[in-house]
Structure 1
């Protein structure tokens, strides 16, 4: 071995020996002076305390602190001077490990380089008056010059906490922070300029992080694990926590913070970021009042979230919360349904208006560039805004373009069923939010529908190539450019509803839709479904009713006031032209006003009503018929149910007034024997053609007269209709065949009883008489037949001599 190597080994050996000798001497010193050292340490630690620190016993642990001196303090308690009043011990530790600088011991002083707290409870308490047991630590007087003769306060370079319960209980500020610290290691560096820098490694369970105990705790029962770098500036009183990754539960967060201890109530700002967290996992970290609201929603994929908490440790409410979330191509579940392909940037704050405090009332949510699809309908909202979470109000501009058939996914197919066609929607809305669902929205904007096929299912009415333009103003609805086509019928419409949105949600039965309807051609048979009972019946609205049910009830209960102008109207055999009408449609039926049509060369005007009852429709009509071709008139209305007298037997021009009621089936057919009322008529230039009952008698009584064409100069009469029976009020018939007085009852089944007084005198003999009185006097001259028309055994009307004429008068 070279000489220098031998010398080096000897030096090292001597040094080691000296260290062992010194360490043994120190150990002997500590063992010999345990009581005095304990007293010295206690006095040193109590030096700057407003209270008492007591240590039960002390044991040296030399090997742990080699080459320094380590001691273990057992049963350590620290209590402020007012402990007897509040009974909250600041520190209660079963074991404190203290590492002391060896050289300082030789100088007769104590310099603590490391302290470890094991199996302990730390309780920082502030009462309702603002007094805190941390007052045990005396504040440094920065104005007082340091006396060199005074020994310095102990400096702690390293510390550890194991199995420590740490509580901050602030009764005045309604705050409670409680942690179970499994393991905490820290190194502290004290620069010459004052303050300190620390590196920490933490593993703790957050039992409570309640900034407002009346609201509940953030991150409750979550495990926190990760490193921190913390610095403190003695001059500014600022504690800065550098951003670093901290695991909260199973999710990593980047957390940084700032605490200003120079303020009377320490102010703090905590910045939190996580790039990949599920919605429900994020909501579980917040206070229960916020979690309960957020859990009404869900996002399937993880999101990127930034959050800033700010506040102070003094009395007050919640901390300010500002959150920013990035959502892309996600699935959003809401109380109102599921939004697919959802993307947006969201912001939340609970201090929206500066100076109005931190509260639900001053909270706001903003969603920027919101895009998604609901029930396969794509839509976008540039900016959706919700403020005042106590009584939330949502605003925004909704835009969408889609195939209209996709509406079936939203409203179902019990009311409206859509086929082809497109819709373009742009609506600015404002709505209350109840239980996180839009309620009573007020909208402004346009809904434009083109080339749509629509079926109104409850009435079994189908429309083709439909166009609709809806213009929502602040309160009213204007409906324009409507084109409806059902079979051969084409209808152009425009309308308006005053105070629409308010009534839609409060009193749908008070909604009055004013329509202007124009059409070149309408076939009423294609709309016959409106006469039937609505199937299915609209459900009564409840708080849980969905959009489809609300709209269904609107269609059922609202009133429609129609002004109609139609060039041609077809129904079965009926044809009318130049039709004008005012109709009022209500839940119970139809009011008919100011109806006028051209029909059979004349005109018909009427007023009346149709009341829907089950599968039938009771109607009442007052009509005025002017110069209508009676042949076509009877033909158009299927001879009004009569089988003996039909349109083939009639000729002339009818003038009539009627006051009639009856029943129409839901198929549009007049129910037999349902007509009641009166009919007054005047038939001009009339003729009775090939009427069998007259021919059967006339061929014997008047063999040489024209029985196939019996003309009437002017025929007036009045019928009272009572179901199956028509009462013929006494009337005179003056014809080319004969003159006749007629009265009695005509029955559509049985019960016909009509008296006929017929002079056999040929009316043509009096044709040249111009004096009306003379003509009237000669009318019944000569032989008069007194006949009775009654039911025959074969069910047909039989005419016979009226042998009981006096009894039938």
Structure 2
């Protein structure tokens, strides 16, 4: 120890007395060797820096490099360089350096766009040197940057600590390395972004350098990247045009951590994907050391995970996949030459089992998805992914087969290929808008690019209606929300028997709905029902509406954004026909109905029975007979339940009743309390009655008309209240007192006849709707006003 102190004392005196010369010699030595401008602020001999060995310390070393005037980038900076001198050789009179320690510095190796490098001269000088590699190297808080603007590379490492021990033989050097290094940039191409950005690398391992072959190699060394363990095997061929090879293995790495070590370009494709369980990854990276993008092939596996994006999620999935950035070996590695393949995906989409081995995302610059799957499933499992308030599937069995080829975004008919089929067996489905369950549902549906075709769909309602449906949807991709245009959906529905009462609630008023979560939503059924145009061609051999039974129904229905239109509905009622066109539109969240109707030569009693007497008080199918013809217009506002309230109806009714008969009609029977007490007014025949009625605010206005019956002729006019508020004017000509042949009078009746001297009555209803007959003192005035019109 005393000897060491003595040596230190003597050496310190020497260094102190010759400091200027030593600094100058060191500076010139570096300048000559590296062809660089060098400055050294101070030189010292230290006993304690690398005790118990002496060390020479250079302070504030600045090496500008041979191209500083061109690049304005310094080659090397160091706050402190400590070179350790072995003690025992020094005692024997030999100076042996065995450790170099660099603190608070940087090394910057730069190549400009013209290929001029700031270290060319350094390498030439170093190649001529025969000095051996230092036994030990230590770096602390030291930055190494290698930037190549010609090849668009940028490597930047912040070395928190690096300790290297060397063991050199004639043929190789073994480096025992212990490091803690932060990767600031590992860019092979500026346009692609950095691998391992801001990741911390830590490890304790051995690096083998074969001096003869000029190959650096590592074999299954353990390194952690941001605390996640990796096993790395590889080699770097330092000869001209040499290659490098790396095999990187890690297990149980979280997906977010795996993404964080990849470039921005790759992450752009992966950013919408979530994987909940950690992955096992085995990656191979290889390429030329001289530059260019390396080839990357990464195989990965994950078990029992959830995987998906905002649109679709798979649960309990076992997945195996590969990333390859050189799919075509004849082309260079590039994002456009890259792919992500799923060689295995076994999992569940909600409760639907999914299995596939052929899903690929290629061309990461403009990603294209290619692949599909087949599945067989319980139909009720479709309820969560359909995520619709309008349809609830109770039971059934389904088969689904889908294949897709096209972009991940901006999907259009021209850039997408889609093939698929859906088979439904014995389905039972609740349809909320009509509050009905359809059963025995069988369907065969094909998807071909932009077209969806219903080859066959049959179903029944529990009330006995049967539907046979075929159809086609073109421009189907427009049914996706935010897609341009509209889908064109055409359905052909036929039925041997159709109970329209089953579907009467389908026009009900919209009610407030709870907002449903869009999470995991794949279907857009509600979107289609609420926003797309649907054309329906409907035919039925027999239909029931209220109590009406009609035959040979034909109609066209158009549903469009919450509105619907019934065009040219035709059906037979007995020997007569009914023609109807109806439209329902929504304005300010209220629904309005308009209709144009025509009834031709229909039995009045059948129509009144079938339509529940149109809710007219005091008259029903029991009171009327004859051949009825009607045409007119109707508008009304629907109530919250989709029903029609009499007070909202506004209509015109042009009717004609031929060969008619009135049976037990209460106003005429009440008339007998005043006159014609001995005449049979409970059964009256008449040839023709015709008039133009108007309906508004719950009131039917009847212009004065003549009714020439088999027992008498009379005139009736006024208002018939649908809500019970009736006020009818009845004129009974006195010539009815004379018995005569009424058949002649029945055939010559006219609403313009004055009727001669007459008695006038009025039929009034009370609050209960009961009708009473009273003398009408203003009846003559009413007659004059009506005839004047």
* Shared fold per TM-score greater than 0.5: yes
For residues 761 and 653 of structure 1, the distance between their equivalents in structure 2, rounded to whole angstroms, comes to 29
Instruction: Tell whether the 8 Å contact from 1:746 to 1:754 is kept in structure 2 after alignment.
Output: no
Q: Report what 2:403 is aligned to.
A: 428
Structure 1 position 688, deviation (Å): 1.5
Aligned to 2:581: 607
Residue aligning to 1:570: 544
Match for residue 468 of structure 2?
492
Which of 611, 624, 641 is equivalent to 2:615? 641
Q: Could you say what secondary structure the match of 2:564 adopts?
A: strand
Matches within 5 A, 1:623-662: 623-626=598-601, 628-662=602-636
- The answer to whether the aligner puts 1:404 opposite 2:379 as a matched pair is yes
Give 1:50-129 correspondences, 5 Å limit: 50-51=35-36, 72=56, 74=58, 80-82=65-67, 86=72, 88-90=74-76, 92=78, 93-97=80-84, 114-119=98-103, 121=105, 123-128=107-112, 129=114
CA 1:710 to 1:299, structure 2 compared with 1: closer, same or farther past 3 Å?
A: closer
- Asked if the contact 2:404–2:418 (Cα under 8 Å) also holds between the matched residues in 1, the reply is yes
Map 1:303-322 → 2, pairs under 5 A: 303-310=279-286, 319-322=294-297
Q: Does 1:553 align with 2:527?
A: yes
Deviation of 1:555 (Å): 0.9
Residues 88/665 of structure 1: CA separation in 2 closer, same or farther (3 Å cut): closer
Q: Cα distance 1:641–1:138, how it changes in 2: closer, same or farther (>3 A)? A: closer
2:159 equivalent in structure 1: 180
Moved more, 354-363 or 602-611: 354-363
Q: Is the contact made by 2:703 and 2:786 (CA closer than 8 Å) also made in structure 1?
A: no
Deviation of the 1:445 alpha carbon: 0.4
Deviations 1:75-126 (A, max 9, x none): 57766444566452447452112569979x99xxx99784433536451421
1:621 corresponds to? 596
Aligned to 2:402, what secondary structure does the other structure show?
Answer: strand
Deviations 1:440-472 (A, max 9, x none): 986320122333333333554433343333321
Question: What is the aligned partner in structure 2 of residue 717 from structure 1?
Answer: 690
Report the counterpart of residue 228 of structure 2 in structure 1. Answer: 251
Distance 1:419 1:126 in 2: 70
* Gaps in structure 1 of 5+ consecutive residues: 1-20, 143-150
CA contact (8 A) 1:116 1:161 kept: yes
Query: Counterpart in 2 of 1:286?
Result: 262
Separation (CA, whole Å) in 1 of partners of 2:559 and 2:431: 16
Q: Give a deviation string over 1:212-249, Cα, whole Å, max 9, x none.
A: 567346152413212133234556x5444444332334
Deviation of residue 182 (structure 1)? Answer: 2.3
Question: Which aligned pairs between 1:318-397 and structure 2 lie closer than 5 A?
Answer: 319-332=294-307, 334-336=309-311, 338-353=313-328, 360-397=335-372
1 CA distance for matches of 2:43 and 2:637?
A: 108
Deviation at 1:344, TM superposition (A): 1.6
2:510 is equivalent to residue 525 of structure 1: no
Q: Is the 8 A contact 2:38 2:62 kept in 1?
A: yes
The two structures have a TM-score, normalised by structure 2, of 0.81
**Change over 3 Å in CA distance of 1:762–1:621 after alignment to 2:** farther
CA–CA separation in structure 1 for the residues paired with 2:392 and 2:318: 30
User: Residue 415 of structure 1 is aligned with which of 387, 390, 394?
Assistant: 390
The answer on whether the counterparts of 1:538 and 1:549 sit within 8 Å (CA) in structure 2 is no
- C-alpha deviation, 1:425, in angstroms: 1.5
| Deviation (angstroms), 1:197 | 3.8
Structure 1 residue matching 2:596: 3-state secondary structure: strand
Q: C-alpha distance in 1, partners of 2:176/2:655? A: 109
Q: Secondary structure at the match of 2:497?
A: strand
Against the structure 1 CA distance between its residues 639 and 590, is the aligned structure 2 distance closer, same or farther, given a 3 Å change threshold? same
1:723-762 matches, cutoff 5 A = 723=696, 724-728=698-702, 731-740=705-714, 746-748=720-722, 749-757=725-733, 759-760=735-736
TM-aligned CA distance change 1:354 to 1:459, over 3 Å: farther
C-alpha distance 388-533 of structure 1, shift in aligned 2 (>3 A):
farther
Residue of structure 2 aligned with 1:226, choices 204, 223, 241 = 204
1:154 aligns to what? 131
Once residues 671 and 9 of structure 2 are traced to their aligned partners in structure 1, the CA distance between those partners, rounded to angstroms, is 157
User: Cα offset for 1:305?
Assistant: 0.7
The answer as to whether partners of 1:678 and 1:721 remain within 8 angstroms in 2 is: yes
Cα distance, 1:71 vs structure 2: 7.0
- Relative to structure 1, the CA distance from residue 592 to residue 125 in structure 2 (aligned partners, 3 Å threshold; closer, same or farther) is same
**CA-to-aligned-CA distance 1:144-184 (integer Å, 9 cap, x gap):** xxxxxxx9822337333253624133152441322316242
| 8 A Cα contact 1:525 1:572, kept in partner | yes
Closer, same or farther in 2 for the Cα pair 1:222/1:465, shift >3 Å?
A: same
Correspondence for 1:786 among 758, 774, 787: 758
Distance 1:83 1:96 in 2: 27
Q: Provide the residue aligned with 1:210 in structure 2.
A: 186
**Distance apart, 1:497 and its partner CA:** 1.2
Query: How has the CA–CA distance of structure 1 residues 800 and 223 changed in structure 2, closer, same or farther, with 3 Å as cutoff?
Result: same
Matched, 1:516 2:485: no
C-alpha separation in 2, matches of 1:691 and 1:470: 57
1:474 aligns with 2:449: yes
Using the alignment, how far apart are the partners of 1:152 and 1:692 within structure 2?
130
Give the distance between the partners of 1:65 and 1:662, measured in 2 at CA: 103
Q: Residue 198 of structure 1 corresponds to which residue in structure 2?
A: 174
Residue 11 of structure 2 contacts residue 45 of structure 2 at CA under 8 Å; is this kept in 1? no
**Residue 439 of structure 2 corresponds to which residue in structure 1?**
464
Moved more, 348-357 or 585-594: 348-357
C-alpha spacing 1:726/1:48, structure 2 compared with 1 (3 Å): closer
In 2, the alpha carbon distance for the partners of 1:683 and 1:323 equals: 86
Maintained 8 Å contact 1:742/1:757: no
Q: CA deviation at 1:278?
A: 2.3
1:584 offset after TM fit, Å? 1.7
Separation in 2, partners of 1:412, 1:711: 61
SS at structure 1 position matched to 2:74: coil
Report the CA distance shift for 1:152/1:490 in structure 2 as closer, same or farther (over 3 A).
closer
Quick one: distance in 1 between partners of 2:590 and 2:458?
30
SS of corresponding position for 2:631:
strand
Match of 2:252 in 1: 276
Q: What is the deviation of 1:190?
A: 4.8
Question: C-alpha separation between the residues in 2 aligned to 1:509 and 1:556?
Answer: 15
- CA-CA distance at 1:530 after TM superposition: 1.0
- Retained in 2: the 8 A contact 1:469–1:479? yes
Q: Name whichever of 479-488 and 346-355 sits farther off.
A: 346-355
Task: Summarize the Cα distance change of 1:336–1:98 in structure 2 as closer, same or farther, 3 Å threshold.
Answer: farther
Question: 1:415 and 1:776 mapped to 2: Cα distance?
Answer: 58
What's the CA shift string for 1:396-426, capped at 9, x where partnerless?
A: 2033332232333334453332222233221
For residues 694 and 664 of structure 1, what CA distance do their matches in structure 2 show?
A: 35
Quote how far apart the aligned CAs of 1:361 are.
Answer: 4.6
In structure 2, do the counterparts of structure 1 residues 697 and 52 end up closer, same or farther at CA, with 3 Å as the change threshold?
A: closer
Partner of 1:15: none
Q: Is the 8 A contact 2:55 2:84 kept in 1?
A: yes
Corresponding pairs, count: 753
Q: How far off is 1:597 after superposition?
A: 2.0
SS in 2 for 1:647: coil
Deviation at 1:717, TM superposition (A): 0.8
Tell me, in whole angstroms, the C-alpha distance in 2 between the residues paired with 1:696 and 1:45. 133
